[in-house]
Amino acid sequence: MKRWRPPHVMIAVPGASLKKLLMLVVVGCMMMVMLIGALTSLRPEYRPSSSSINDMAAHFPQEAFVRLFALENGYFAQLLPKERQRTNYSSLLFRLATSINPDDPRSLLGSELPGFALYDSKILIAGEGTDYTNIPYESAPPLEVMLAERQASVEELEQAEQTEDEKPLPPPRQTTEGRKVVYIYHTHTRESYLPALKGVTDPNLAFHRSVNVTKVGEKLMEELEKRGIGAQVNKTDIEAELLKKGMNYSQAYDMSRQTVVAAMKQNRDLQYLIDIHRDAHRRNYTTTTINGATYARVAFIVGGENAEYEKNLQLATELHHLMQKKYPGLSRGVIKKQGAGTDGKFNQDLSGNAILIEIGGVDNTFAELFRSAAAFADVFSEYYWQAEKVQAPTPPEKK
């Protein structure tokens, strides 16, 4: 008679799977450390930056991001038209590999034809004479060209400061009481003007380390404070900082962003951020005459790749209309910039009250630039005090 034996039962040992899990965690941590080490050891010009990530994300159609949400919540897929609810992976891979959008021929021409990428910009509000042939643009020669020493005409600057034909302003009726509420900076610090550079006639060489657009920023600060609005101006030499850190010119907004963020942390009273630039267009597009005096024209630039650019657009639009009312012809309009060859955000994602303004072009004199700075301060102060009046809390009713 055979002796009964219990069936052989395999009992899973929890320790084996636990070891595998621990090994995966250890290997994953090691790979993460190696990846972080590789990224941080790269030279600055090769490191991922907000601009490079933004450029990469720009190749993805908007539908792709909606579909990502739809993977977690199918409701989002209903937001897409029926013909676009299915992902075209071949088209997506083609765009990633070639940077060409099959639905937009400009993406091919923009990379092949010099200057064609300018037409990614959109004129939202056209000022007098503004069209797509003369929208503001900036020439970007190598950093070595910008940093080259050039002799400046100090006399031109001094004459502009001495011959200001403005009437003295009365003391302001209201002030910000010592608070600095406006931050003025210059992402392209060395942008200068040919009349202030001795012997320089090539507009592509209109750059100087000290006699440059920062003088316009200083003037704007003075004019704002005359009107009771506290302001501070940053004159950090962005181009020199780029060279020092081995970064290229296209990363200028990443560098200026650091100064803006630092200022916002140090001064909680800052309400408005103004980035002042100089256009590369010639005099016939950047100059106007008002009441017999010549002014450097002003253009408002809005970054179309900022997710909440409508807030910045509202500010630029109101300032444009107010400027048109008080100084007809001074504003060149409001332009939205995005796409290849431009930053697309201009640090305006830091605040809905951030704006970029182009004051004048390569041929404008400092006398014209200073008149425009005073005019902008006049317009801005009216807008600012009206906004403060609207936002002020209503006093309680007396019983």
3-state secondary structure at position 346? coil
For the cut 90, the answer to whether the pLDDT of residue 312 exceeds it is yes
Q: How confident is the model at residue 295 (pLDDT cuts 50, 70, 90)?
A: very high
For the cut 90, the answer to whether the pLDDT of residue 270 exceeds it is yes
* Contact predicate 227/169, CB 8 Å: yes
In one letter, which amino acid is 247?
A: M
3-state secondary structure at position 160? helix
- Residues 6 or more apart whose CB falls under 8 angstroms from that of 281 comprise 134, 136, 137, 361, 362
On the CB side of 270, CA atoms within 13 Å amount to 23
Backbone angles phi, psi at 25, to 5 degrees: -65, -45
For the cut 80, the answer to whether the pLDDT of residue 399 exceeds it is no
* Contact predicate 157/215, CB 8 Å: yes
Q: What is the pLDDT of residue 219?
A: 95
Tens digits of per-residue pLDDT, 4-60?
555 555 555 556 677 788 888 888 888 888 877 776 666 554 555 555 555 556 555
Q: What is the pLDDT of residue 153?
A: 61
Q: How far separated are the first and last CA of the chain, in Å rounded?
A: 109
Backbone angles phi, psi at 269, to 5 degrees: -85, -10
Which helix (H) or strand (E) is 336 found in, with range? Answer: strand 331-337
* Contact predicate 330/297, CB 8 Å: yes
- Residues 6 or more apart whose CB falls under 8 angstroms from that of 201 comprise 194
Of the candidates 121, 89, 90, 93, the residue with the CA atom closest to the CA atom of residue 106: 121
For the cut 60, the answer to whether the pLDDT of residue 350 exceeds it is yes
In this prediction, what percent of the chain has a pLDDT beyond 90? 44
Contacts 24+ apart (CB under 8 A), 384-391: 384/181, 384/229, 384/272, 385/174, 385/228
Question: Quick one: tokens of 207?
Answer: 């750059």
Question: Quick one: tokens of 121?
Answer: 């910009």
Q: How confident is the model at residue 398 (pLDDT cuts 50, 70, 90)?
A: low
Segment 376-391 shows an average pLDDT of 90
pTM (2 decimals)? 0.72
Give the C-alpha separation, 110 to 335, whole Å.
19
Beta strands in 99-187 (DSSP E): 122-126, 180-185
Q: How confident is the model at residue 172 (pLDDT cuts 50, 70, 90)?
A: confident
For the cut 60, the answer to whether the pLDDT of residue 393 exceeds it is no
In one letter, which amino acid is 96?
A: L
In one letter, which amino acid is 93?
A: L
| Beta pairing class for 298-303 and 354-359 | antiparallel
For the cut 70, the answer to whether the pLDDT of residue 90 exceeds it is no
Question: Quick one: tokens of 6?
Answer: 């219990």
